[in-house]
Chain A
Amino acid sequence: MFDLTRNYFELFSLEPVFEIDTALLSQRYRDIQHQVHPDRFAGKNDQDQRLALQFTSYVNEAFQCLKQPLERAKYLLTLKGVEINLDTQSHFDSAFLMTQIEWREEMENLSKQKKPEAAIRQLQAQVNRKINELSAAFVSAYQQGNDKQAMDAVVKWQFLARLQHDIDALED
């Protein structure tokens, strides 16, 4: 029934690449929402309301995915038929693992400090730099068609995204 089997990029009329114009994505997202959002059908019959709900849910899911770089990267791999296994961290090189452990330890220490704000920001900056490196690594591997390397970058990236999330939570 739902002709939205087309992929997320097609939905927004975008080329399936990592570097997308996010402003254009947001603009198209809004254009589509104007057509399908349940608010457009609030006084209408149940069928229209149900369809509007389904369409909008799909459009939201697609937008959330493409909007976030990590999710977009994973989606690009999925489109190529690469199965993403996030439990492959055992294959991480030892340098990456060491940095991980150091950062986690630093985080533990920060959580015990009284005024950790400045130190938290510093740690966040370090992690962000590494994430930027990984996203660049993903792009070049993906473009060269090296799926294994692209996946390796994504899995590490996911790992750091979690770390980043935990560091952010320290601020509460």
Chain B
Amino acid sequence: MALLQISEPGQSPKPHQRKRAAGIDLGTTNSLVAAVRSATAETLPDHAGKHLLPSVVAYFKDRHVVGEEAKQQASENPHNTLISIKRFMGRSKSDLEKSQFMLPYQIVDKKDGLIRFHTDGGDISPVEASAEILHALSTRAEETLGGELDGVVITVPAYFDESQRQATKDAAMLAGLNVLRLLSEPTAAAVAYGLDKQDQGVIAIFDLGGGTFDISILRLSKGVFEVLSTGGDSALGGDDFDQAIAGWIQMQAGLRTLNSSQQRRLLTLSCQLKEQLTTSEKVSVDFMAWSAELTREQLNDLIDPLIEKALRACKRALRDAGIETSDINNVVMVGGSTRVPRVREKVKEFFGKEPLTSVDPEKVVAIGAAIQADILVGNKPDSEMLLLDVIPLSLGLETMGGLVEKIILRNTTIPVAKAQDFTTGKDGQTAMTIHVLQGERELVDDCRSLAKFTLRGIPPMVAGAAKIRVSFQVDADGLLHVSAREINSGVEARVDVKPSYGLSESEITTMLKDSFAHAQEDFMARELREQKVDAQRLHDALESALAEDAKTLLSDEEYAKVHCMIESLAKVIASDSAKAISAEVKIVSTDSEFFAARRMNASIKKALAGKKLDDVSHA
């Protein structure tokens, strides 16, 4: 038998290599990418030196453009220019009909309820358009950092529900990115302010962007962030300020109907007026041969109801967190709309505290995401930072009479797993439909439908005798997997639920092939490379685990078994069959799970062992 090589304890057998990671703020109005370079996190500019990429994509017959160029031609070409698409992520057509938002787009009617915009370049979904923005930003990062990205952290509003998060992840997959984590925007902002360096405190993050409002209450203690509560409104932001101004102009000027290009011009003008009123007390308005004056006070009256709406959400978030305004140590301002003086005034009045504004409110989220991406990708193994996040909305199931039974309550820390037992309602019932919903209301119709699937093959029994256990698992990105099982017979429907508004895995694969025009070989080469990376990771992990913990955790026989697995992995990695590699990885993963689990248990014991003295003093 050949002698085994064992590396120094605590040292990985592979030399440490700095990895390329970026943080992306995928915003409603503008998007940014940031990275940690020479120990500082900063946003990365494009060739023209601009940091903000307008979240705008324009489609033509044979090409499309992203960012500033797309924004510039927006008013001449409104049907083909998609702006504020984040508002449509994970939304259905019926959601749009409920909102009062003025739409210059032509929405394609599809049976599946998904939104697609009709453009000269085809029918485009919000996920596809977002993927273009992500692609533009990751290309910028790759050029700046000098190579392919190992991973990205993408921020989402804390209030984003399951389908919106899934849509964001789908867009990232479509753009060919490896997502390390979806991070909530306010948490990223707190990280950017270095608030994690403080010993402890309670922070309120007031994030008023172009299209979304979030309030998050975070507690941090010795480098650990805990989200106490989140709240907000996924359809409230600076765009609404613009809409309010536009509505005012339209009414004052007596303009009943506008065509879509006029509408777009009116919105652009309204946005400019809002920005001018940040520094001026009054501005003059000229629109379609009508002119007047708009004062800051008038603007305040127009937007006060919107700000009040935001403050009501703040009040709810404080209550959910179980704290008073006086408990808050810091208030952080995020989002371009917090530049509006009235917003700052009202926030200061509400919290009784001057809010923090020193970091550019538009860049602060991307910077925080870059810091976390750098840690998650493994560039800072000694980092103490750990972010604990919560789900923003309750998850539940439909029960008799169109009611929703909540399984996981909102603001529960993720990841989380919960199971609930249900039974049949009729004698001899052999199938049961599981309808998963998200929301706080009691009626199915008032909540968002995430998925529906059917558990079949339940042995016929009298009503109430079958015991169906439905398990929910929400992962660290806030994404949900549901499975159902009949306890007595073991009949199982282990369906990884794809939310109704997300895309299926195969759809993504097809889109990947189409949209970036990968030749078939390229696609297969990429798949093989990914499989190899995956197998190598498992191989290295087992190798270093053996080196570190074999003596204490494994018997001789188990040691030999694990060693065999390592060898067979190495052999298959050298081959060129993606299929064989993936099969071997699957086998080894299952067979070595006992070892990984033992190591994790041991690490918990070790972490608490140092605290035994505390036990005595607290007893």
Contact = CB atoms under 8 A, between A and B. Distances in A.
Interface string A12-34: 11010000010010111011111
B319 A168 contact: yes
A39 B417 contact: no
Interface of A: 1-4, 11-13, 15, 21, 24, 26-28, 30-40, 42-48, 51-58, 60-61, 63-64, 168, 171-172
B119 to A, nearest CB: 36
A58 B537 contact: no
A33 B386 CA distance: 8
Interface in B142-157: 150-151
B597 A1 contact: yes
B180 A60 contact: no
B224 interface: yes
Nearest to A47: B589
Interface in B421-478: 473, 475-476
A56 B604 CA distance: 11
A30 B604 CA distance: 11
Contacts of A64: 412-413
B308 to A, nearest CB: 14
Contact of B476 (A13, A38, A44): A38
Interface of B: 19, 150-151, 180-181, 221-222, 224, 312, 315-316, 319, 375-378, 384, 386-388, 412-418, 473, 475-476, 534, 537-538, 541, 585, 589, 592-594, 596-598, 600-601, 603-604, 606-608, 611-612, 614-615, 618-619
Contacts of B375: 39
A56 B375 CA distance: 19
A24 B613 CA distance: 12
11 contacts: A1-B594, A1-B597, A37-B388, A43-B150, A43-B180, A44-B541, A45-B537, A47-B538, A55-B600, A56-B476, A60-B415
Contact of A39 (B151, B386, B603, B608): B386
A21 B618 contact: yes
Contacts of A42: 151, 180-181, 376-378
Given A47-B538, A53-B415, A33 B589 contact: no
Given A43-B377, A45-B541, A53-B473, A60 B413 contact: yes
Cβ-closest 10 pairs across A and B: A42-B376, A57-B417, A38-B476, A45-B538, A45-B537, A35-B603, A47-B589, A43-B378, A31-B607, A57-B415
B39 to A, nearest CB: 20
A82 B315 CA distance: 39
A30 B387 CA distance: 10
Residue with the highest number of chain A CB atoms closer than 10 Å, among B180, B388, B598: B388
B417 A51 contact: no
A4 B602 CA distance: 11
A48 to B, nearest CB: 6
A168 B377 CA distance: 42
Contacts of B615: 13
B611 A13 contact: yes
B151 A36 contact: no
Given A34-B386, A35-B600, A64-B413, 10 more contacts: A3-B597, A28-B611, A31-B608, A32-B604, A34-B607, A40-B386, A44-B537, A51-B597, A60-B414, A61-B417
Residue with the highest number of chain B CB atoms closer than 10 Å, among A1, A3, A21: A3
Residue with the highest number of chain B CB atoms closer than 10 Å, among A34, A52, A64: A34
B416 A1 contact: no
B537 A32 contact: no
Given A1-B594, A43-B180, A36 B224 contact: no
Contacts of B618: 21, 24
A18 B119 CA distance: 63
A63 B415 CA distance: 12
B223 to A, nearest CB: 9
A64 B312 CA distance: 27
Contacts of A40: 386
A47 B596 contact: yes
Contacts of B614: 24
A48 B604 contact: no
A61 B474 CA distance: 12
B534 A46 contact: yes
A33 to B, nearest CB: 6
B593 A3 contact: no
A33 B413 CA distance: 12
B35 to A, nearest CB: 16
A51 B593 contact: yes
A69 B375 CA distance: 36
B57 to A, nearest CB: 29
Contacts of B181: 39, 42
A2 B416 contact: no
A48 B537 CA distance: 10
B476 A39 contact: yes
Residue with the highest number of chain A CB atoms closer than 10 Å, among B181, B376, B418: B376
A51 B476 contact: no
B395 to A, nearest CB: 14
Nearest to B614: A24
A54 B415 CA distance: 8
A37 B607 CA distance: 13
Contacts of B607: 31-32, 34-35
Contacts of A30: 221-222, 224, 386
A36 B606 CA distance: 12
